[in-house]
Chains A and B, each alone.
Chain A
């Protein structure tokens, strides 16, 4: 069953009098458990596509379906409600909350979600921190970690709430190639273990090599879609 369907997605930005067409008719069907890389030159629309999939932005035209139901004309409040329970993000610059410890950062999505009891939240967060290999670092602050460790915390934060989909916009761009590889491997392992759907964008050939499906964008359109 498709977990996510994009239909004739168009996104036009207005920059003064100029129209910038960031996405120009994107059709894409994504199955549960995919490990998908979105690649393409700078300005090709990768971030724009991930933002729309992540309910951070809405398309100018076209439709987005999650599990067969359309997310259309949702108000900002409903969109953030949807993000809260179903979508997670990993960012290029890690973006951990600097004043929260590793444990508190990982707990945060569940705290925002407000569904579980504190003890359950703690248990899940501790488990997730162990899954990314950071046990013992629970009470560290982000500034005490290396970039790779920070991104592992970000992965734990993204996965703690069992999202439909994890969206990662250039998750390795700020890391050296060895650490980048490590991070992708962790993502891949979790994808295999939990069947969590990952969609990430990247410029890095090494990272691309780990993807099982590569969608290439150029000028806002999909120019190739290969499965491996």
Chain B
């Protein structure tokens, strides 16, 4: 065995150019594999974090009736006693923060144009502890507790642009009330937000729940309780924590449905799985090419050493030994390519983790539909991906070397010895 490996190793070293070329493809495949996986995980992280921070929160409590009718924005299927419920969430889950929000359809008018949007009614005293929207003001300020008494409005940056309003301007919001008639009132724009979530920039309008009550004729209007959990470092952990919290809240509030971020982001996660399937296929192709390269190299190696095979067989090596000899050669190339691939992949990944890639520069103003994606993309380290990529590369090398190695083992000794 030792001698077989020695012969294989020296042959690999002896034909440096051939070895390097076939190892290079393997290196490239594995490096890209590691890098892509990291980028995808980073994108997931941005997307999920953005959803948690600005729209979904970690766990959302709603009545089953509201959920069933969600698209109609019903006013009569909200969470009763929402403030007490939020308090109860915070005392049930250690370290959590909760706030009540209400959503209704309102028509925003600047006296020339009218734009229907889903207005979010928030509790200015607690909303900031769940949704850090106030940290992303383009101008003006976020709703304050004292704004409750006045009709104050915060708009998404693009919506404000579309309506042609700035901080200090007035907007009329008209809406269907809880009593089935329409009501309208003037709101003054106190702030404009620019969030990493383009959906909110395009259609976000925030008022206080008190103002909403005045407009809609309701009392304590709230359609959902949003819960923030302590931040976890790994995405998988974030999803698991939210699922656990939702399960426990489901028990505390039997009349409400508790949905964790994993469920709220279902659409995105499904798309991400497709995306990662697609990139897996791509990587698979690259490694397949690497495999063909290795197979070809071993075949060349075999043809240039047919007489040597004859000698080894004449001296009593079995066909199995010959097969091993050439398989080792492929494995050594794979090991070399794989190690370089892991090194290169980690180097690229280190750069992406440390410095990140600006997505705004990368995808510009590309419309990604429902998916909030922006800011700087940072990679994520994943040991399992690195180990998997390496192991997969070795397996590919092994399988592709086996084919010509098998052929070498089947040569007739007398023919091999006569070969010139």
A residues neighboring B (CB under 8 Å): 47, 51, 54, 56-57, 76-77, 80-81, 83-85, 88-89, 91, 93, 95, 97-100, 104, 108-109, 111-113
Contacts and interface: CB of A to CB of B under 8 A. Distances in A.
A108 B14 CA distance: 20
Contacts of A93: 307
Given A91-B417, A95-B307, A111-B3, A85 B10 contact: no
Chain B interface size, as a band, is 20 to 34
Interface stretch (B20-28, B149-157, B313-321): B313-321
Given A56-B417, A99-B11, A112 B307 contact: no
A84 B311 contact: no
Given A56-B417, A99-B14, A89 B315 contact: yes
A76 B414 contact: no
B308 interface: yes
Contact of A83 (B316, B319, B321): B316
B7 interface: yes
Interface of B: 3, 6-7, 10-11, 14, 307-308, 310-319, 321, 413-414, 417-418
A56 B311 contact: no
B7 A95 contact: no
A42 to B, nearest CB: 14
Which interface residue of B10, B315, B417 has the most chain A CB atoms within 10 A? B315
Contacts of B7: 97, 99-100
20 contacts: A57-B413, A57-B414, A76-B319, A80-B316, A80-B317, A84-B315, A95-B307, A95-B310, A97-B7, A98-B308, A99-B6, A99-B11, A99-B14, A104-B6, A108-B315, A109-B315, A112-B3, A112-B312, A112-B316, A112-B317
B314 A112 contact: no
A56 B413 contact: yes
Nearest to B313: A80
Nearest to B321: A112
A91 B7 CA distance: 20
A113 B316 contact: yes
A97 B4 CA distance: 12
Contacts of A113: 316
A85 B316 contact: yes
B325 to A, nearest CB: 11
Contacts of A100: 6-7, 10
Contact of B318 (A56, A77, A95, A108): A77
A89 B414 CA distance: 12
B308 A95 contact: yes
Contacts of A109: 315-316
Given A57-B414, A99-B6, A99-B10, 11 more contacts: A77-B318, A83-B315, A88-B315, A91-B311, A97-B311, A100-B10, A104-B6, A109-B316, A111-B3, A112-B312, A112-B316
A81 B316 contact: yes
B311 A95 contact: yes
A80 B318 contact: yes
Contacts of B14: 98-99
A100 to B, nearest CB: 7
B402 to A, nearest CB: 20
B100 to A, nearest CB: 77
A162 B163 CA distance: 100
Contacts of A112: 3, 312, 315-317, 321
A228 to B, nearest CB: 30
Contacts of B315: 83-84, 88-89, 108-109, 112
A108 B318 CA distance: 14
A83 B414 contact: no
Contacts of A99: 6-7, 10-11, 14
A81 B321 CA distance: 13
Contacts of A51: 414
A81 B318 CA distance: 8
B331 to A, nearest CB: 17
Contact of B414 (A56, A85, A111): A56
A83 B3 contact: no
Nearest to A52: B414
Contact of A84 (B307, B316, B319): B316
A54 B311 CA distance: 12
Nearest to A93: B307
Contacts of B312: 97, 112
Which interface residue of B313, B413, B418 has the most chain A CB atoms within 10 A? B413
A91 B10 CA distance: 23
B5 to A, nearest CB: 12
- 5 closest cross-chain pairs (CB), A and B: A84-B316, A99-B10, A95-B311, A83-B316, A56-B413
B417 to A, nearest CB: 7
Which interface residue of A84, A97, A109 has the most chain B CB atoms within 10 A? A97
A193 to B, nearest CB: 23
Nearest to A81: B316
A57 B418 CA distance: 13
B135 to A, nearest CB: 66
Contacts of A80: 313, 316-318
A93 B307 CA distance: 10
A62 B343 CA distance: 62
Contacts of A54: 314
Contacts of A81: 316
B322 to A, nearest CB: 10
Given A95-B308, A99-B11, A56 B314 contact: yes
A47 B310 CA distance: 15
B312 to A, nearest CB: 8
